[in-house]
Amino acid sequence: ISATHGNRRLTLHHLDAAIEGFDAAGMPVNAAYARRRKGELLGAEGEALIDEADATLRSQSVADTMRWTSIVLPGFPSADPA
């Protein structure tokens, strides 16, 4: 919800919490989706997060990582494909 309202700081906080929780629970694919969204929000400084997330997702046979991220974590209109 914070992403749809343009609250970048709160969105990043929630993504960090999600990444930490998914990592702790042994859910690397879910953590990868959250990492990718965080990387998208960070722009150029988040490219490494996107690369890391995409590598994890591709290792699980996710071919179109951007589209699957938009399905799993919707509500980020600036990054979602048309």
Give me the mean pLDDT over the 19-41 stretch: 97
DSSP classification of residue 2: T
Quick check: 39 pLDDT over 80?
Answer: yes
pLDDT given for residue 3 in this prediction: 78
pLDDT given for residue 79 in this prediction: 57
**In contact, 28 and 36? CB cutoff 8 Å:** no
CA distance 68 to 48: 19
Which tops the pLDDT comparison, 54 or 1? 54
Tokens 């749809």 correspond to 4
Q: Is the pTM of this model over 0.75?
A: yes
